[in-house]
Every structure is written in C-alpha cells, then in structure tokens.
Amino acid sequence: MDTLPVNIPGFVWAYRFSPDEKTAVRLNNSATVAELTADNCFYWLHLNLVDARVPALLETLDGLTEDAKSALTTRDTHAAITVDEQMLYGTLVDCQRDFAQDTN
C-alpha cells in the first residue's frame, strides 16, 4: 500500500482507463500531475476537496471545462454527477465524519 507523500494536491487515489488496456491501472501516490494528461485515457480521480490547493490543480488540467471546475470546487451538500459529450464529472459527499474511526 502506498503511503504519503503525494505529488498531486488533494490526491486520495486515482485510476487510469486506457482504450488499449482491458483493466484499470491504479496510479501510485508518487504520480505526478503530468501523468494525468499524458495520453488519451479516462481518469477517475478521488481528490480531497478540503485541500485548498485542489482548485489551483484543476486550473492546470487541460481539457477540463469551466463548468467542471466549478462543479468540482463548489461545496455541495448532495452528490452531483454531470455527463456531457466529452466528460463525466461530479462530487460525492462524505456525510459521515468521525476521526476516531474509519468513515463508511
């Protein structure tokens, strides 16, 4: 299992889905931002939006629309997923926060 440090702000985990591969590849904690745009793949990113550096990270990702950036940085109280012709994006809300035990 990977441990800190991470190079991507707010990074929790990520998977790369390549049109040439049949399985998803989990990115290591040592992955760099450049690895998120290195090829023609689909990426599933789990970012911790509590990290204040995430909005700046999103600004560096080519191809991410203004609507997507806004949706990913707005503090919602419910889950929201958007699908358009180019991408799928959204947020899932962690409704249970208990630092004394694992979050369900």
Mean pLDDT, rounded, for 96-104: 58
- Domain-by-domain residue ranges, the chain? 11-91
Instruction: Tell me the whole-structure pTM to 2 decimals.
Output: 0.74
pLDDT digits (tens, 9 = 90+) for 8-48: 999 989 999 988 888 899 999 889 988 887 778 888 998 88
Query: Is residue 55 within 8 Å of residue 38, measured between CB atoms?
Result: no
Residue reference for tokens 């919602």: 76
Residue reference for tokens 């760099």: 32
- DSSP state, residue 83: E
Report the alpha-carbon distance of residue 35 to residue 27 in Å, rounded. 9
pLDDT, residue 5, reads: 61
